[in-house]
């Protein structure tokens, strides 16, 4: 599984972070959450396919009590 670290977020473009969401099956769950949180912080638009991928990730990888913060 691929990972991203909080320390490297400043060096990662928003587009690259969005790829973490689109290809979430290749990343550990924590990295997907980190990418999502950073994109929200950057006010990256979370719509359409991006929203659908995040919803899919949440349903398959996160307990229901943690989902409300992400979708």
Query: pLDDT tens, position by position, for the chain (71 residues)?
Result: 999 988 888 899 999 999 999 999 999 999 999 999 999 999 999 889 988 998 899 888 876 655 455 55
Q: How far apart are CA 42 and CA 59, in angstroms?
A: 24
pTM across the whole model: 0.82
The secondary structure element, H or E, covering residue 14 is helix 14-22
Domain boundaries, the chain: 6-67
- HSE (CB half, 13 Å, CA atoms) of 39? 25
Q: How many CB atoms lie within 10 A of CB 60?
A: 10
**What is the token pair recorded at 43?**
């006010």
DSSP 70: T
């Amino acid at each position: 599984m691929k990972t991203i670290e909080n320390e490297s977020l400043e060096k990662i473009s928003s587009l690259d972070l969005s790829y973490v969401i689109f290809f979430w099956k290749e990343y550990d769950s924590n990295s997907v959450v980190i990418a999502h949180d950073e994109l929200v912080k950057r006010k990256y638009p979370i719509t359409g396919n991006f929203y659908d991928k995040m919803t899919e990730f949440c349903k398959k990888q996160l307990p229901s009590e943690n989902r409300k913060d992400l979708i």
